[in-house]
């Protein structure tokens, strides 16, 4: 994944976790820029301000999002939980394939369904 796309994805994810903690303008501008794919010029025109003012608000908002993640680490924990859940599902699938006991297969299927709905 290229670095620019990676940054966009990361900011969009951080925005989901911490966006409501930003100022109203930071929230709106980051949402428009990253999620609604508007340019700085379009956002500036819509809000009757300069492109530079939009950029400054977005940069300050991005900085806040990264600071919140550094302190609270919700996204990191969530991604780690998802990795562990995928590993558990993979291991359950291996057991299901290797053992033909129907009762065990049913139990494993129920566990997989539970993990998927977490």
What pLDDT score does 1 carry?
A: 45
Instruction: Name the band, by pLDDT with cuts 50, 70 and 90, for residue 99.
Output: low
Chain segment 4-26, per-residue pLDDT in tens: 658 888 999 999 999 999 999 99
What pLDDT score does 101 carry?
A: 75
Residues 68 and 84 in one domain: no
DSSP 28-87: HHHIIIIIS---HHHHHHHHTS-HHHHHHHHHHHHHHHHHHHHHH-HHHHHHHHHHHHHH
Residues 67 and 110 in one domain: no
The range of the structural domain enclosing residue 100 comes to 77-117
Chain segment 31-83, per-residue pLDDT in tens: 999 999 999 999 999 999 999 999 999 999 999 999 998 898 877 777 778 88
More confident residue, 60 or 104: 60
Residues 104 and 51 in one domain: no
Residues 61 and 46 in one domain: yes
């Amino acid at each position: 994944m290229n670095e620019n796309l990676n940054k966009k994805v990361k900011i969009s994810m951080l925005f989901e976790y911490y966006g409501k903690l930003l100022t109203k303008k930071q929230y709106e501008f980051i949402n428009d820029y990253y999620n609604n794919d508007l340019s700085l010029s379009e956002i500036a025109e819509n809000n009757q301000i300069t492109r530079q003012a939009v950029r400054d608000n977005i940069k300050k908002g991005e900085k806040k999002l990264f600071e919140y993640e550094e302190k609270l680490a919700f996204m990191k924990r969530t991604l780690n939980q998802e990795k562990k859940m995928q590993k558990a599902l993979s291991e359950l699938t291996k057991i299901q394939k290797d053992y033909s006991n129907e009762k065990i297969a049913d139990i494993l299927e129920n566990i997989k369904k539970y993990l998927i709905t977490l």
